[in-house]
């Protein structure tokens, strides 16, 4: 015959397993539902309506706030498709890109796509800050020529042609060299044609 103490421990352990199983089932359901919503927003019939797709991503993120890929897709779409619209809708997409970039980088600060969107968002307002921020990412992910090509573009748009030329050395021999060289030359020509300042 089992002791009363042994039966009590088994009963408590069984109850704990039931509660844990219920919690894990609920957690798994939320994660699966969030992924399904994300997949539908990205590939489904509403993918062409960015406002609807972004609202879907918000729902997915509320259900499962740990998947930074939701944030990458939303930030990239809001940023790259901002030129499709004008006025307040363009500003709304720009803010959405900023928001999803910040949320995603809080989850994964080493995400290259999010770091790139962040740099591009900063580029118009503060090109030097954009170049500095991207340079920090390039230090971490150094051996990718594309990263250096973007750095060339950012340094050139900030007017830092020495650093842009140094970054261009790391792009030589890659498929990104012509583009990076073109961006540097365009920025240099634009700098040479500016009227003198008093």
For the record, the structure tokens of 54 come out as 């972004």
If you average pLDDT over residues 9-29, what whole number do you get? 78
If you average pLDDT over residues 166-188, what whole number do you get? 96
- Of 31, 141, 53, the residue nearest 100 (C-alpha): 53
For the record, the structure tokens of 183 come out as 């961006």
pLDDT at 198 > cutoff 80: no
If you average pLDDT over residues 113-142, what whole number do you get? 96
> In this predicted structure, which of 1-5, 26-30, 63-67, 121-125 has the lowest mean pLDDT?
1-5
Q: How many CA atoms lie within 13 A of 173 on its CB side?
A: 4
- Average pLDDT, whole number, for the chain? 90
pLDDT at 9 > cutoff 60: yes
| The predicted structure's pLDDT at residue 2 | 53
Distance of CA 67 to the CA centre of its chain: 12
| The predicted structure's pLDDT at residue 31 | 86
| The predicted structure's pLDDT at residue 83 | 87
> In this predicted structure, which of 12-16, 28-32, 61-65, 98-102 has the lowest mean pLDDT?
12-16
């Amino acid at each position: 015959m089992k002791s009363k103490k042994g039966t009590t421990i088994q009963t408590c352990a069984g109850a704990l397993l039931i509660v844990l199983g219920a919690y894990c089932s609920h957690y798994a359901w939320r994660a699966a539902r969030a992924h399904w919503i994300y997949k539908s927003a990205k590939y489904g019939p509403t993918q062409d309506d960015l406002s609807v797709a972004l609202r879907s991503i918000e729902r997915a993120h509320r259900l499962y706030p740990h998947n930074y890929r939701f944030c990458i897709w939303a930030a990239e779409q809001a940023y790259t498709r901002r030129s499709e619209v004008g006025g307040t809708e363009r500003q709304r997409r720009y803010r959405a890109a900023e928001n999803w970039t910040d949320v995603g980088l809080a989850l994964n600060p080493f995400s290259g796509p999010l770091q790139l969107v962040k740099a591009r968002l900063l580029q118009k307002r503060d090109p030097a800050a954009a170049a500095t921020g991207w340079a920090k990412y390039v230090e971490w992910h150094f051996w990718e020529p594309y990263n250096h090509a973007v750095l060339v573009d950012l340094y050139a748009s900030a007017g830092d042609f020495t650093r842009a030329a140094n970054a261009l050395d790391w792009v030589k021999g890659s498929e990104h060299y012509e583009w990076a060289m073109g961006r540097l030359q365009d920025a240099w020509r634009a700098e040479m044609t500016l009227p003198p300042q008093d």
